[in-house]
Amino acid sequence: MATTDFKDYYATLGVSKTATADEIKQAFRKLARKYHPDVNPNDKTAEAKFKEINEAYEVLSDADKRRKYDQFGQYWNRMDGASGAGVDFGGFDFSQYGSFDDFINELLGRFGGGAPGAGGRTYTYRTSPGAGYPGAGTGHSGTGYGGYSDPFRDTTSPGQDLESTISLTLSEAFNGTQKRLNLGNETVTVRIPAGAKPGSRIRVKEKGQINPYSRRRGDLYLIVETKPHPFFQFEGDNLVCEVPIAPDEAVLGAAIEVPTPDGSVTMNVPAGIRSGQTLRLRGKGWRTPKGDRTDQLVRVMIVPPTNLSTPERDLYEKLRSNRSSDPRSALKQVKL
């Protein structure tokens, strides 16, 4: 075997022999974009380089092919013609190949009529979402550029989907609204449905990236985020709020006014309620996609007055001197 036939695929992709699959994939993508024939029209040097990195990636991205290639590379400089006499090839007979190309052709199935295009092959490339190139997130296959396929040319799939955040006031999210968005050289009006919550995804059809080959656009997904509100917050699907009450209301009970998203309602506070307890206003929370409402949770906080009038102070003094209960009586039994 002619030892000069050997090609260092790791050097072709610019990675080490211990590179991970992700590192190999990243290196391939970077080089494929740089030497892609569409980026370098009529450049034969770039086209040849594109073929080389395609071949290197197909071998190194497949665990079994990479293992055989690594095994071959371990012994290539010990070959003696095609005989391999006296050489232990680790359980694989490399001496059956007259050249490195013969070995690669069999490894990739490129001869014996087993591949399309008289010695060519079909190369399949699958990108991940967000790869930043036409057709990201879909699989593509085909042949071209001297028997090698173009992993980026796809004449059927839409372009890449895009994501962006949209910030809404709580009122806009609750009631629904329309927003005008500037998408580069076009402005679109987007309808935000009533009841959008933080993290909701709103699909805007065919406003993503354009696949330059199919001329089809992907979609735009708007991720909702809501601006902070001084009174309402989310707790799961429900709304939660905090309402202060006076000590006498906590002791005697009261009917108090509580704001809700669509106006105030009267809520009964039971006598003897403790600070921090939660009351539920059923059906007064957030809108749902089905058109009904979740609950509003009202957390009660007992707030003592800070600026007492003279009559109020006299009454609190009288209350203290006549109080029959001791709220800390149970603490007398506490010990280590």
Structure pTM? 0.54
Residues 199 and 292 in one domain: no
pLDDT tens by residue, the chain, 336 residues: 444 567 889 999 999 999 999 999 999 989 988 888 777 888 889 888 988 998 899 889 888 888 888 887 765 555 444 444 444 445 556 666 667 777 777 776 654 333 333 233 333 333 333 333 333 333 333 334 444 445 555 667 888 888 999 999 999 999 999 999 988 778 999 999 999 999 999 999 999 888 777 788 899 999 999 999 999 999 999 999 999 999 999 999 999 999 999 999 999 999 999 999 999 999 999 999 888 999 999 999 999 999 999 999 999 999 999 999 899 999 999 999
**280 close to 296: Cβ distance less than 8 angstroms:** yes
Instruction: Kindly state whether residues 138 and 32 are assigned to the same domain.
Output: yes
Same domain, 83 and 59: yes
**Which residues span the domain enclosing 206?**
162-226
Query: Which neighbouring-strand residues pair with 266?
Result: 257
Give residue 114's pLDDT. Answer: 34
Residue that terminates a domain, selected from 226, 248, 265: 226
Task: Give the integer Cα–Cα distance in Å for 128 and 29.
Answer: 11
Residue 153 lies in a domain: no
Residues 215 and 270 in one domain: no
Amino acid 226: pLDDT: 95
Task: Examine the fold and report which residue of 199, 226, 253 is the final residue of a domain before the chain moves on.
Answer: 226
3-state secondary structure the chain: CCHHHCCCHHHHHCCCCCCCHHHHHHHHHHHHHHHCCCCCCCCHHHHHHHHHHHHHHHHHCCHHHHHHHHHHHHHHHHCCCCCCCCCCCCCCCHHHCCCHHHHHHHHHCCCCCCCCCCCCCCEEEECCCCCCCCCCCCEEEECCCCCCCCCCCCCCCCCCCEEEEEEECHHHHHHCEEEEEEECCEEEEEEECCCCCCCCEEEECCCCCECCCCCCECCEEEEEEECCCCCCEEECCEEEEEEEECHHHHHHCEEEEEEECCEEEEEEECCCCCCCCEEEECCCCCECCCCCECCEEEEEEECCCCCCCHHHHHHHHHHHHHCCCCCCHHHHHCCC
pLDDT the model gives residue 159 = 82
Q: Is residue 219 part of a domain?
A: yes
136 lies in the same domain as 173: no
Do residue 124 and residue 29 come from a single domain?
yes
Q: What pLDDT does residue 72 have?
A: 76
Q: How many domains does the chain have?
A: 3
**pLDDT the model gives residue 92:** 58
Q: Among 167, 194, 304, 200, which residue's Cα sits nearest to residue 249?
A: 304
> What CATH number did the domain enclosing 284 receive?
2.60.260.20
With contact defined as beta carbons under 8 Å apart, do 21 and 59 qualify? no
Same domain, residue pair 37 and 115: yes
Tokens 């034969």, residue located: 44
Which residues neighbour 242 within 8 Å (Cβ) at sequence distance 6 or greater?
298, 299, 301
Give 37: exposed, middle or buried? Use CB within 10 Å, 0-12, 13-18, 19+.
Answer: buried
**What pLDDT shows up at residue 75?**
59
Asked whether residue 313 is assigned to any structural domain, the reply reads yes
Which pLDDT belongs to residue 110?
56
